[in-house]
């Protein structure tokens, strides 16, 4: 399929965009820490396309980081992506957030037998899953795990690399282990390109009407979130 894939990653309080073609990123931009996704998304996409001398009509698909992660970030990206896909009649691709981190970890540590992406879920909790180098998840489902001294003991004596924004607090608890804790590997839309391309070629697309991000936990709506929800529904 000809054209470019716009990749959107907003599962954390930071976020990023990339343009992918043939599984490789040709342009990447990151939002400033704390920058509001709802305000910066459209201008950032416009600038990304403009810098590459492209138009939105050149897009063949839009891919989003589908969760788990920030309710607000995931919701905004999903609504934005659905709008583009509907207007252009192009497919929506969903890439699980932890797959993106796992791909980045294996790219940096190809010798590792296992990688464990860690997304901060506040306090001592993380969203995580365990990936074997064959890309089969050892943990059948993504989990919300409270970190303690016995966490990941099923990986004892294995070659394991941890990464993501939940790595620091995990390393502090498990510091006696021989595993690698890489605090520099972070979520980026640049690492979505190969994964979204694979889904495009397999025609693994989402239903624009019914697709919802994978939040993992129920979301409790507060006053600020209610205002955002009103904006998204308008």
pTM of the model: 0.89
3-class SS letters over 173-219: HCCCCCCEEECCCCCCHHHHHHHHHHHHHCCCCCCCCCCCCCCCCCC
Give the model's pLDDT for residue 183.
94
- The domains of the chain are located at 4-97+187-233, 98-182
Contact (Cβ atoms closer than 8 angstroms) between residue 154 and residue 160? no
4-97+187-233 against 98-182: fold identical = yes
The CATH number of the structural domain formed by 4-97+187-233 is 3.30.420.40
pLDDT tens for the chain, 234 residues: list them.
568 999 999 998 889 999 999 999 999 999 876 666 667 889 999 999 999 999 999 999 999 999 999 998 999 999 999 999 999 999 999 999 999 999 999 999 999 999 999 999 988 999 999 999 988 777 767 999 999 999 999 898 899 999 999 999 999 999 877 899 999 999 999 999 999 999 999 999 999 999 999 998 754 444 444 544 454 453
- As a whole number of angstroms, the distance between CA 34 and CA 54 comes to 28
**What is the CATH number assigned to the segment(s) 98-182?**
3.30.420.40
Within 8 A by CB and 6+ apart from 151, the residues are 145, 170, 173, 174
Instruction: Yes or no: say if 162 and 75 are a contact pair by the CB < 8 Å rule.
Output: no
Q: Show the tokens assigned to 4.
A: 């470019």
């Amino acid at each position: 399929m000809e054209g470019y894939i716009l990749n959107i990653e907003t599962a954390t309080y930071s976020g990023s965009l990339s343009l992918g073609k043939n599984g490789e990123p040709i342009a990447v931009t990151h939002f400033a820490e704390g920058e509001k996704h709802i305000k910066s998304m459209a201008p950032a996409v416009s600038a990304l396309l403009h810098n590459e001398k492209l138009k939105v009509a050149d897009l063949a698909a839009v891919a989003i980081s589908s969760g788990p992660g920030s309710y607000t970030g995931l919701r905004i990206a999903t609504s934005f992506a659905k709008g583009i896909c509907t207007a252009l009649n192009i497919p929506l691709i969903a890439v699980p957030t932890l797959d993106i981190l796992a791909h980045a970890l294996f790219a940096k540590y190809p010798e590792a037998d296992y990688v464990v992406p860690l997304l901060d879920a506040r306090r001592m909790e993380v969203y995580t899953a365990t990936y074997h180098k064959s890309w089969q998840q050892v943990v059948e489902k993504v989990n919300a795990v409270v970190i303690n001294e016995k966490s990941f003991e099923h990986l004892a004596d294995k070659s394991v690399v941890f990464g993501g924004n939940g790595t620091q607090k995990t390393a502090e608890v498990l510091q006696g282990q021989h595993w690698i804790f890489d605090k520099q590997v972070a979520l980026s839309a640049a690492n979505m390109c190969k994964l979204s391309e694979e889904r495009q070629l397999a025609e693994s697309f989402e239903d624009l009407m019914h697709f919802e991000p994978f939040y993992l936990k129920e979301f409790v709506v507060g006053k600020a979130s209610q205002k955002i929800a009103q904006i998204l529904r308008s």
